[in-house]
Structure 1
Amino acid sequence: MTAVSDHVVQQVPGTDVGTGRGEGGHPRPAAAGPTTFTPEHGDVYVEPGLTPLAAREANRSALTALLDTAGVAHFAVRGTSDHGTVIAVAEEDRDRVLAVVFRGLSQFPGHLSVIDPDAPRPAKPVSSRDAKAWRTVNGARILQISWYRTDPGRHLLLGHEYGCAIEFWQRHGTHLVAPRANRATWAVAADGGNVLGAARLFSRFVSDWTPAPLAPALATRPEFLVHCADDIAFPVDAVYTWVDGDDPAWKQRKAQAKGEVYHAESASDARFISRDELRYSVRSIHLFAPWIRNIYIVTDDQVPPWLREDVPGLRIATHREIFRNPADLPTFNSHSIESQLHHIEGLAEHFLYFNDDMFMGRPVAPHAFFTPTGTARYFPSRNRIPQGPVAETDTPVDAACKNNRALLLERFGRVITQPMEHIPYALRRSAMEEAERDFPEAWARTSASRFRAMTDLSPTSSFALYYAALTGRAQPGSMPFTYLQLAVPDLADRLQRLLDGRDQDTFCLNDAFSTPEDIEAQQELLDGFLDSYFPTPSPHER
């Protein structure tokens, strides 16, 4: 997945958008529109609503439709790549398969590569217009076929990794034998029939809660309908906390709230600015984590103006709904709000907590955050928690970490030394419930702090993670990520590197100290960056 440079656009003849068929009844890449021709990429099809999962499914459906027109039997294989799909055909059908693939790629040019399972590195894809692409297909054990796709703004390029591989399985006695290893079996019954297999069997980027049009059940063999040791079948939800700091009613509640602010950062206006990051963070889940079951947005009776509340899969949860003690409201303290997240009705046992400035940066599987047995992963920072008790000079973050450390040392006899990175926090609902029961006074004190206070815990970003670890429900992990503070002089260059690379699993665009003079210039940069990085609206946008 890369960015697409500017290039000339031409129209593909004979496409019938919406039917899945082109001239002569041959299949076409789904939603194919204009195509671009560049020396680097070859043919690229423009597709509205583009996501990695949509590109993957479009390539698979286009290829299986070609096989269906030729009457070639096929079944889906549980391949080892999460990005693309794998289709098996019998070796005896090779001639018919190659003939129909050649016809399809002649009408709608794409890309082709021959996969040698024993080669030290994969072969590069070649445009199907190039005669070199066809030189070795006659004896190939595996072919990878794709139609490159981009969004209408040409910000994303979803290429060969989202293609569909055709494996030629050889008959040995009563079985068909695979040309390479997959996730389940080397052989299936040669005369066996197909059954439907859940989409999550064929990619870890898919769950049972992914919308069916993007992840339909696939025709496969019974041998693949096994629950493997590395499968994640439990639901994972996402939770956000969000505030619109420009809302007059919210401003009035804040002005009337009583409570002493001990540190300037605690009430900094930058902490409450809504830069529309939430819209793009939800887009990042739609694009790169379609396995999320439900998204909950926790607000102080606010609804983002862009949000559609009538689309399943996302719900507003108000402070009034989740706070056990109504006297703690209103609150303007994220620690307070986070201490109540596990009270969201219907929340899954396993969930990711996002600040609204956290984003998925590329397709990420749930395995990055949880093990198949349900153990959560946490991501310790390279920083260290300052030594000694809480001091008046501590930042709110350091004070909360010290409070966490003292309680956990008393309870478990272990000393925590590291805060967490700004990566979505993988949490266990049961661990938070137990932590609240084990430390009722500290939990209630944090809940009652209207602004960040010296006595706060940091429930989600540290305490609950370490509590889960010390009770056997979490373990340390690592992932490629970027933390970017917006109040830096080279913000434009850093955003451009992040956009060009697209090589981080997650990233955070944090803002705690920007001045009003900074915000306008930052917003212009952010608008361009976020629109380019996440060009596809989620279903939850108006």
Structure 2
Amino acid sequence: MTAVFDQALRRSSGPAGNAGDGALRRSAQAGPTTVTAEHGDVYVEPGLTPLAAREANRSALTALLDTAGIAHFAVRGTDDHGTVVGVAEEDRERVLSVVFRGLGQFPGHLSVIDPDAPRPARPVSTRDPKAWREVSAARILRISWYRTDPERHLLLGHEYGCAIEFWQRDGSYLLAPRANRATWAVAADAPNVLGAARLFSRFVSDWTPQRLAPALATRPEFLVNCADDIAFPVDAVYTWVDGDDPAWQRRKAQAKGEVYHAESASDARFISRDELRYSVRSLHLFAPWIRNVYVVTDDQVPAWLREDVPGLRIATHREIFRDRSVLPVFNSHAIESQLHRIEGLAEHFLYFNDDMFVGRPVAPHAFFTPSGTARYFPSRNRIPQGPVVETDTPVDAACKNNRALLMKRFGRVITQPMEHIPYALRRSAMEEAERDFPEAWARTAASRFRAMTDLSPTSSFALYYAALTGRAQPGSMPFTYLQLAVPDLADRLQRLLDGRDQDTFCLNDAFSTPEDIEAQQELLDGFLNAYFPTPSPYER
């Protein structure tokens, strides 16, 4: 009976260790596949992601049911992290028997879920007899096997487990023990059908590779398209530059353009700290619903990047600029004004600076509504009053220019810049904004360095244009903006790593001196490797 279960669970392997205070430490005495933690066994899994942990827990549990010939079906639960399997109440004894034996061979964690309880029960190691006290009459059990990566940076626990729901027979129907996203009842004797993986978690889309999120056996009642489903594709776009590239440095030195503000010419703006590698990892770990990733560069390719893997493509400035005579450009505003011209780009896309990261699993609903409306995230700061003046920062000058054009066109005054959160954009809104304001758009595209006449197309203008034409609305999310040129950088990075409670964060650098960079890099290397230990498929 346990052969199939053994195969499913032994996807996890590795040396021993011990966990404490959220970080896993090595231990001298333990088995070949687990580490011993203060809260129970933890399985070591190379290439660990939240989606992989979720799927491994589900497949291990359903393998147990399959070996005993117990009918089961996937349920559209309300928790995106874990999965739910429904079984008939009449099979309870057999279910508990195989679960008990499986967890005896491969210890995990278990909790009894009471839908009416004010707070969920804490998971208990199945080595502890207390874990089994209330299972005989439980309406719902959640089972998990905690997982960590080989370096003990991630600990993915009970939230990624699989719940077993016992459905009561009522005539020709099986009735659910709690609410789910679709129905209270399914036909008792109907055959299973396959349901797309996205039906069972908002962290999965139709473009998530099937090897990571396979279709699941379910009941026809769960195949409906719900009003809160997001079924449209969402892409991600990065702009990236390697400021250490000699060819790029020569192009920059030869470029003609007047820099009006010290920040716009700061070398710190062009330093590549390998952030892009880790930002792409953050998508692989925490946003596996992204369809395609586009990296916009000035004929540069990161040394670590594989271009032969589907799902990521380099888009050069030569490809996307309407007027190639303005190239080369070294102004992010100019480059951003052309992003909507990327061939194949989805209508809905997220624009990332390479210093922006997804900090924990997020659903596309954080950035778009199910009807396709984009969300934007206004800052608590305010755009300074009055026209552009010489003392304005590049950001403030662009915001003032945005404000003047939008006021003239819509009769509305924008007062807030945007937070450093990935920008949720509508391709059609950018196309229309360019048509509505061709002179200002072309002038921005032609500014080789940041200029007092720039718009800020993606970080403000296109977002407000979409809002004023009914395609965007304000939103909020937990996020952190961290300027690297701060004296307590090490402490702030450690708090961010220990908490892991931000949907997104930005590690921005516009003011660091050459003396700062070496010390910062050592801190960043340790932080980024610990936060995002799992390579993406796009790395060599």
TM-score normalised according to structure 2 size: 0.96
**Residue 95 of structure 1 aligns with which residue?**
93
Match of residue 3 from structure 2: none
2: CA distance between counterparts of 1:182 and 1:328? 55
8 Å CA contact 2:351, 2:424 repeated in 1: yes
Tell me the residue number matched to 1:344: 342
Superposed displacement of residue 36, structure 1: 1.4
* 2:36 pairs with 1:37: yes
Aligned 1:229-244 pairs, distance under 5 A: 229-244=227-242
- Please say if 1:107 is aligned against 2:135: no
Instruction: Give the Cα separation in 1 of the matches to 2:24 and 2:165.
Output: 33
Partner of 2:8 in structure 1? none
Corresponding residue number in structure 1 for 2:459: 461
Contact kept? 2:77, 2:84, Cα under 8 Å? yes
Q: 1:6 aligns with which of 22, 25, 30?
A: 25
Deviations 1:315-370 (A, max 9, x none): 00000000000111000000000000000000000000000000000000000000
Name the amino acid aligned to 1:341.
L
Q: Which of structure 1's runs of 4+ aligned residues deviate more than 3 A? A: 9-12
Q: Is residue 4–residue 150 contact of structure 1 (8 Å, CA) maintained in 2?
A: no
Mapped partners of 1:10, 1:401: distance in 2:
60
The one of 313, 316, 323 equivalent to 1:315 is 313
Counting aligned pairs with the same residue, the percent is 88
Shift of 1:54: 0.1
Q: Distance in 1 between matches of 2:507 and 2:253?
A: 27
CA contact (8 A) 1:268 1:513 kept: yes
Q: 1:523: how far off? A: 0.2
1:490 matched residue in structure 2? 488
Counterparts of 1:63-462 in structure 2, within 5 Å, are 63-462=61-460
Q: Following the alignment from structure 2 to structure 1, what is the Cα–Cα distance between the partners of residues 355 and 447?
A: 23
1:314 maps to amino acid: L
Deviations 1:124-183 (A, max 9, x none): 000000000001100000000000000000001000000000000000011000000000
Q: Distance in 2 between matches of 1:5 and 1:287?
A: 19
Q: Is the 8 A contact 1:10 1:36 kept in 2?
A: no
Task: Report the Cα distance in structure 2 between the residues aligned to 1:78 and 1:514, rounded to whole angstroms.
Answer: 49
Equivalents in 2 of 1:357, 1:503: separation in Å? Answer: 18
Return the alpha-carbon distance in structure 1 between the equivalents of residues 297 and 265 of structure 2: 18
| 1:265 partner amino acid | E
Quote the Cα distance in structure 2 between the aligned partners of 1:38 and 1:221: 38
Matched residue of 2:25: which SS? coil
Shift of 1:35: 1.2
Amino acid at match of 1:38: A
Corresponding residue number in structure 1 for 2:11: none
Tell me the equivalent position of 1:28: none
> Residues 524 and 203 of structure 1: is their aligned pair in 2 closer, same or farther, counting only changes over 3 Å?
same
**Structure 1 Cα separation of the partners of residues 495 and 23 of structure 2:** 14
Deviation of residue 4 (structure 1)?
Answer: 2.2
Tell me the secondary structure at the aligned position of residue 390 of structure 2.
Answer: coil
* Distance (whole Å) between structure 2 residues aligned to residue 115 and residue 394 of structure 1: 57
8 Å contact from structure 2 (residues 24, 37) kept in 1: no
Alignment deviations for residues 84-132 of structure 1 (CA, whole Å, 9 cap, x no partner):
0000000000000000000100000000000000000000000000000
Distance 1:311 1:378, change over 3 A: same
CA contact (8 A) 1:9 1:37 kept: no
Matched-pair contact (CA < 8 Å) for 2:30–2:36: no
User: What's the offset of the Cα at 1:3?
Assistant: 4.1
Structure 1: gaps spanning 5 or more residues: 13-32
Does structure 2 retain, via aligned residues, the 8 Å contact 1:77–1:202? yes
Query: Which residue type is aligned with residue 533 of structure 2?
Result: P
Whole-angstrom CA distance in 2 between matches of 1:136 and 1:271: 59
- How many residues are treated as equivalent by the alignment? 521
Shift of 1:53: 0.1
Query: For residue 308 of structure 1, what is the amino acid of its counterpart?
Result: R
Please name the residue that 1:30 is paired with: none
Letter in 2 for 1:35: T
- Structure 2 counterpart of 1:20: none
> What TM-score do the two structures reach when normalised by structure 1?
0.95
Q: Distance in 1 between matches of 2:186 and 2:352?
A: 43
Q: Which residue of 2 aligns with 1:24?
A: none
Query: Within 1, Cα distance between the matches of 2:238 and 2:277?
Result: 11
2:13 alignment partner in structure 1:
none
Unpaired runs of 5+ residues, structure 2, are 1-18
8 Å CA contact retained: 2:466, 2:472: yes
What is the SS of the residue equivalent to 1:466? helix
Q: C-alpha offsets along residues 10-34 of structure 1, whole Å, 9 cap, x if unaligned?
A: 553xxxxxxxxxxxxxxxxxxxx63
Could you tell me how far apart the structure 2 residues matched to 1:312 and 1:359 are?
Answer: 21
The residue number in structure 2 matching 1:536 is 534
The CA distance in 2 between the partners of 1:502 and 1:106, in whole Å, is 32
- C-alpha distance in structure 2 between counterparts of 1:247 and 1:278, whole Å: 16
SS of the residue 2:80 aligns to:
coil
Q: 2:45 touches 2:147 (CA, 8 Å); kept in 1?
A: yes
CA RMSD across the alignment: 1.0
CA distance in 2, matches of 1:72, 1:5: 36
Deviation at 1:417, TM superposition (A): 0.1
Residue 441 of structure 1: how far off its partner (Å): 0.1
Deviation at 1:7, TM superposition (A): 3.8
CA distance in 2, matches of 1:251, 1:35: 50
Q: SS state of the match for residue 36, structure 1? A: strand
CA contact under 8 A between 1:359 and 1:507: conserved in structure 2? yes
Q: Is the 8 A contact 1:7 1:37 kept in 2?
A: no
* One-letter amino acid of the structure 2 residue matched with residue 37 of structure 1: T
